[in-house]
Amino acid sequence: MSLQAGLSVWTSRFLDVVFPPSCAACGRDGVWFCAECLNLIESVKRDPCRACGSLKLEHECPADYSRAILQGLSAIGFYHDPRLRKLLHGLKYQYAACLLPTVGDLLRRYKNLRSQPWPWVGESALALQAVVGSPKRIRMRGFDQAEKIRDLVKQELLPWAQTVSLLSRDSSVEAQADLKPGPLRQANVRGVFCVGAQFIAPDVVVLIDDVFTTGSTMLEAARALKSAGVKRVYGLVLAIGA
Beta-sheet strands, E only, within 29-84: 72-78
Mean residue pLDDT across the chain:
86
Q: What is the C-alpha to C-alpha distance for residues 21 and 81, in angstroms, rounded to an integer?
A: 22
Vertex 229 angle, CA 214 and 129, to 5°: 50
Question: What is the average pLDDT across 128-156?
Answer: 92
Say yes or no to pLDDT of 185 above 80.
Answer: no
- Coil vs helix vs strand at 45: coil
Domain boundaries, the chain: 43-240
**Can you tell me the distance from the alpha carbon of 101 to that of 86, in angstroms, rounded to the nearest whole number?**
15
**pLDDT tens-digit profile of 57-79?**
888 887 776 678 999 999 999 99
What letter represents residue 226's amino acid?
K
| Order of strands across the sheet that contains 72-78 | 72-78, 232-240, 204-212, 127-130, 162-164
Give dist(CA 146, CA 97) in Å, integer: 12
Report helix, strand or coil for 203.
coil
**What is the amino acid identity at position 238?**
L
Alpha carbon 108 to chain centroid distance? 15
Pairing of strands 127-130, 204-212: parallel
Q: Please write the tens of the pLDDT for every residue from 144-170.
A: 999 999 999 999 999 999 999 999 888
What integer pLDDT is reported at residue 5 of this predicted model? 42
